[in-house]
Amino acid sequence: MIALALLACTPEPAVVQPDPVTPVLRPEPPAPPDMGLDTVGTVETPDAASPTREVRRMDIDQLDASIRSATGGIGWDVDGVSQLQELSASLGVPDFAQRTSEDLTAGLLFQKFLDDAANAVCDTLVERELAGTSNVLLGAAGPTDTRATNAAAVDAALAAALLRYHGRRVSPGDPQLDPWTLLFDSTLTVTGGDTMAAWRSVCIGLIVHPDFYQY
């Protein structure tokens, strides 16, 4: 108890105060160089074909869903059965018995059945578009509009289709739209002005184009 009492009464050691230090201010950062922010400069954009990863093909489930999404819900179905699912074993979809990974090469069978799918869904889509029961392809263009009669509407529809199918945003008049306007116009020419054939060609072309199924 006495020891505790002595300990309790031990005076605290004196606190040594540091010498007062004069604060040193950080130097001002150097003034940024004049970047000419008032003007827009040029940058070197990466080359799209630079040695980054190679494009890869979407799998069959993604393809089925993408076709339905792009066409406003039309799939390659026969009697209510998705043909892409029906052919899935031949298209390399794993069965998890003998095959556990999906073959994603865009080989002969894939191309054949993709083409069959595009023909089927685009025929249905264009029929609906021209009948006015669907409007995911023609936009403001009328069923008989051509680029000769209503270029603005047709070009706008083609630009919208390129965004819808390929995720590529272009403005009417952009050179990237040229292959599609050419496809539309040339199909019109060879079919004697059949706008349904022209829009169907565009739809098929958009689906069988690698930009649709490879990313």
Partner 1 sequence: MSPTRRQILVSAFGALGATAVSGSLARLALANTTGTTDRYFVFCYFPGAWDILVSSDPKDLLIGAPVEETRIEHAWDEADASTLAAGQLELLDLPSLRPDGTPHRVTNAFEPFRGLGLSSGGNLLDRTTFVRGLSMDTLTHEVGRRRFLTGRPPTGLKARGNSVATVMASLLSTLEPIPNLAASMESYNTTEPAFASALNVNSVDDLLRALRPAALDVAPEERDRVESMLDAFRECMLTRRSPARDTALSSRKGASALVSGGYDAAFDLTANTPEMEVLRERFGIVGSSTNTVQARMAMAAQALTGGVSRVVSVQASNSCDTHFDNWGTDQVETQVEGYRAIAALASHLDATLHPSGGTWLDRTTIVAFSDFCRTPVRNGNGGRDHWLTNACFLVGPDLTPGVFGESSDEGMAPMAVDLATGLVDPAGEIPKPEHVLAALFGTLGYSDPATMPNDLRVGPYGALMSC
Our finding on whether 96 is near partner 1 (CB under 8 A) is no
Q: Give the nearer residue to partner 1 in terms of CB position, either 140 or 167.
A: 167
Our finding on whether 165 is near partner 1 (CB under 8 A) is no
DSSP symbols for the chain: -HHHHHHHHPPPPPPPPPPP-PPPPPPPPPPPP---TTS-----PPPTTSSSPPP-B--HHHHHHHHHHHTTS---EETTEEHHHHTTTTTT---SSS--S------HHHHHHHHHHHHHHHHHHHHHHHHTS--SSSTT--TT--HHHHHHHHHHHHHHHHHHHH-----TT-GGGHHHHHHHHHHHHHTTS-HHHHHHHHHHHHHHSHHHHB-
Of the listed pieces 35-43, 94-102, 131-139, 167-175, which binds partner 1 according to CB under 8 A? Answer: 94-102
Q: Which two tokens stand for residue 205?
A: 């072309």
Q: How far is the CB of 83 from partner 1 (least distance, A)?
A: 9
Q: How far is the CB of 108 from partner 1 (least distance, A)?
A: 5
Q: Give the nearer residue to partner 1 in terms of CB position, either 13 or 96.
A: 96
Our finding on whether 113 is near partner 1 (CB under 8 A) is yes
Q: Distance between CA atoms of 202 and 131, rounded to whole angstroms?
A: 18
Among residues 66, 69, 119, 146, the one that binds partner 1 under rule CB under 8 A: 119
Give residue 3's Cα distance to chain centre.
81
Our finding on whether 85 is near partner 1 (CB under 8 A) is no
Among residues 62, 81, 186, 193, the one that binds partner 1 under rule CB under 8 A: 186
Q: Give the nearer residue to partner 1 in terms of CB position, either 140 or 143.
A: 143
Give residues 35-54 in contact with partner 1 (rule: CB under 8 A).
48-49, 54
Rule CB under 8 A: which residues touch partner 1? 48-49, 54-57, 87, 89-90, 92, 98-100, 103, 105-113, 115-116, 119-120, 123, 179-180, 182-183, 186-187, 190-191, 197, 200-201, 204-205, 208-210, 213-214
